[in-house]
Amino acid sequence: MNAVQGHGVAVRIENCGKTFADGTHALEPATLDIARGETLVLLGPSGCGKTTMLRIIAGLEVPDAGGRVLFDGKDMTPVPIEQRNVGMVFQSYALFPNMSVSDNIGYGLKIRGVGKAERTRRIAELIELTNIGGLEHRRIDQLSGGQRQRVALARAVAIRPGILLLDEPLTALDAALRDRLRSELNRMLRALGITTIYVTHDQAEAMELGDRIVVMRKGAIAQIGVPRDIYFAPQSRFVAEFIGAANIIEAPLVNGHFVLPGGRLATGGSDNQARAVAMIRPETIQITHAEGAFLAGVIDSVGFSGDRQRIIVKDVSDKLLTIDAPNTIRAKAGERIGLSIAQDAIRLLPPDK
Ligand code: ADP
Ligand code: MG
């Protein structure tokens, strides 16, 4: 993405750690640069420090000594939240329940002294962007969860913030609505083009929304990368297993070949290791005829799910292997099959992680 074209500020988090008063180490000192207009996703399991990092950026939390937050190179660390020009959306809506949708969206503009005509124009724009036309005069308590989150987003961006911070905004919604709103949110964030930091524990959300993803674990950054690299080139077992389904193979490596119960698997290298670890995504494994295959196994079960089928194979490696195959393949339990895996689909991992 071209940072120069984006809106909002460039953010730098420098050496920001957080130890709470009770001694909890919520965040190890971390340094992170977010380009103007970029959508950066903080992804990780509950309790890994995502919200703490977001709150430090917002100015709701002070980093430990030595930590700094910079917007466009300017040190914002001592600047209070109301002067940082941030827009925020949380899991719970924090809207004014008795006010109309329009008044909620226009609230920040009103307290900043923006005139009525300009307010009305801006509100209309945001109503259109967030697709809530017709609801302008409803009260918040007359809206569905999804509609409320649209209003919350519209309100957060009404003030033209330098940065938009979203903390699990879809988590409280039911699954079907969450999926729908996720793609809509993607469209809205692209249309806004504003620097955005998005917190979630949902890897599908992270993949779809993030220009880059920061995977966090126990208060530390495990990996930073574009979604494709996070998915196909995880640097640790933790990232591999947290992001989607992953086959983890542990076996001796002889001349660059994994020696498995079901045969040999070429990695493309020529390494020799007593025990190596690799990750293979289920959809990168092809099913072939068993005869003559370098690697073979027996189908343990087949789960047909309409758009694809998940095939579990035994006797290939030390664990069951998961394959996501096209729904057109005929496969049944007990059948012996060959497996073909492209070398670039095999990701060697450091063994200790
Ligand atoms: P996440 O958003 O990834 O779920 P948080 O940033 O909320 O994680 O929390 C990180 C860690 O810090 C957790 O162990 C949490 O219990 C702890 N924590 C959060 N806020 C406080 C606080 N005000 N005082 C003490 N510990 C806290
Ligand atoms: Mg949180």
Query: Tens of pLDDT along 105-115?
Result: 999 999 999 99
- Answer whether residue 269 is part of any domain: yes
Q: How far apart are CA 330 and CA 193, in angstroms?
A: 45
Predicted TM-score (pTM) of this structure = 0.91
Question: 25-39, 146-160, 165-179 — which one is most confidently predicted on average?
Answer: 25-39
DSSP 31-48: EEEE-TT-EEEEE-STTS
Atom index in ligand 1 nearest the CA of residue 49 equals 6
- Domain count across the chain: 2
Residues 195 and 135 in one domain: yes
- Judge if the beta carbon of residue 23 lies within 6 A of ligand 1: no
State in Å: Cα 115 to ligand 1 middle. Answer: 40
Mean pLDDT of 46-55: 97
Domain range holding 217?
2-239
Q: How far apart are CA 312 and CA 221, in angstroms?
A: 33
Residues 64 and 211 in one domain: yes
Query: Considering 239, 257, 282, which residue would you say is the last residue of a domain?
Result: 239
Query: Tens of pLDDT along 189-227?
Result: 998 899 999 999 999 999 999 999 999 999 999 999 999
Question: What protein residues have CB closer than 5 angstroms to ion ligand 2?
Answer: 51
Q: How far apart are CA 217 and CA 141, in angstroms?
A: 37
Of 24, 46, 242, which is best to mutate to test ligand 1, by the most ligand atoms within 8 angstroms of its C-beta?
Answer: 24
In terms of Cβ atoms closer than 10 Å to its own Cβ (0-12, 13-18, 19+), residue 5 is exposed
Residues 206 and 296 in one domain: no
